[in-house]
Amino acid sequence: MHENQSPRVPASPRLRVYLSRIAVVGFLLVLVGVGAVPGYWKGNWPWAKLPSVTNLKQIKAIRNQGLEIPDWQTLEQITLSIGGNKWSFQTIQQDKQKPVILLLLPQNGPKSQPQVEWADINGFFQTYARRQINGKWKTDSYTKLLFTAETSEPTTSMAQVRARLFRAWNGQQTFAMVQWYASPEGGYSVPSHWFWSDQLAQLRRRRVPWVAVCFQIPIEPLGKIEESLPKAESLGKLIQSTLMTGPFAGRPREE
C-alpha cells in the first residue's frame, strides 16, 4: 500500500439505508416509465384517461336501493345528502331486536375517491343530536375491529377488513359505531390504503372500486364497547361479503 493512500471508510448504516431507498424509488420509476413509453410513442399518455371502474353501474345503484343483507330486514331506505355526498341511509333489523342504522356511500365515478367521509358522518350526527333531541354527540373508546369475510359465489374468496370501532352517544342513546372503506379485496378505515392499491391497479389499467360503510348498533347506556364485538363482527362480515358477491361482482340487486 502506498503511504499516501487513505484506507477505505465503510459507509454508515444510515447512508446505506438512504442509498437503498434511492434504488427502490429509481426501480419504481423505471417500472412506471416502461409502462408509459409505448403509450408515449403512440401519443397516448396512460394517465390522460383513467381506466374505467368495473361494475360501476351496480355500485352506484346502492345509493338509491341500499343493500339487502341476508337474514336482516330493511325497515326503511332513503337517499340522504351528507357533506355534499349522497348516501344510502338504511334502517335494518334482525329478529325484532333494536334497529341498526346502515350508511353506505358508493363510488360515484372513475375520479371519485374516499376523502373525509368519517368527518362528514360525525358532523351529521352532531347536527342531528343538537337539533332533534337537544343533545350532544360525543365519541370515545376508539379501537380496531378485525374480521375476515368469506364468499362462495361467484368464486370462493376471502377478504380481510380492518374497520374502525368506537362508542358514541347523543344524550339519549349509546351506540357502537363501525366504519371502513370496502373494496373487493377487503377494507380499511383510512383512505390511504385504497389510494395505493388503486395506484398499483392503474399500472395494469385496472381500478379498485370502493364503498364507504358505516353502521350504528344500539348498546346499553354508556355500555362497554367490548360488549358489541360479536354483533359488530357478524354484521360487518355480512355487509362485506354481500358487497363482494353483489355490486362488486356486477350482480344487480334482486327485487
pLDDT tops 80 at residue 254: no
pLDDT for residue 32: 47
- Average pLDDT for the chain: 85
Q: How confident is the model at residue 156 (pLDDT cuts 50, 70, 90)?
A: confident
Handedness of CA 241, 97, 166, 134 (dihedral sign): positive
Higher pLDDT, 196 or 253: 196
Q: Over range 171-175, report the average pLDDT.
A: 93
Q: Residue 224 carries which side chain, given as an amino acid letter?
A: K
Mean pLDDT across the stretch 103-109?
A: 97
* pTM tops 0.75: yes
Could you tell me which residues come within 8 angstroms of residue 61 by beta carbon, excluding any fewer than 6 positions away? 106, 247, 252, 253
Res. 104: pLDDT tops 70: yes
The DSSP bridge pattern shows strands 157-169 and 174-183 to be antiparallel
Q: Which residue has the higher pLDDT, 23 or 44?
A: 23
For residue 46, pLDDT beyond 80: no
pLDDT at 152: 81
- Most distant CA pair in the chain: distance in Å? 91
Give per-residue pLDDT as tens, 184-210: 999 999 999 999 999 999 999 999 999
Least confident of 8-22, 25-39, 135-149: 25-39
**For residue 20, what pLDDT band results from cuts at 50, 70 and 90?**
low
The amino acid at 235: L
Q: Is the pLDDT of residue 162 over 50?
A: yes
Q: Look at residue 3 in the predicted model and tell me its pLDDT.
A: 47
| More confident: 90 or 171 | 90
3-state secondary structure the chain: CCCCCCCCCCCCHHHHHHHHHHHHHHHHHHHHHHHHHHHHHHCCCCCCCCCCCCCHHHHHCHHHHCCCCCCCEEEEEEEEEECCEEEEEEEEECCCCCCEEEEEEECCCCCCCCCCHHHHHHHHHHHHHHHHCCCCCEEEEEEEEEEEEEECCCCCEEEEEEEEEEEEECCCCEEEEEEEEEECCEEECCHHHHHHHHHHHHHCCCCCCCEEEEEEEEECCCCCHHHHHHHHHHHHHHHHHHHHHCHHHCCCCCC
Q: What is the pLDDT of residues 72-95, one digit of tens each?
A: 999 999 999 999 999 999 999 999
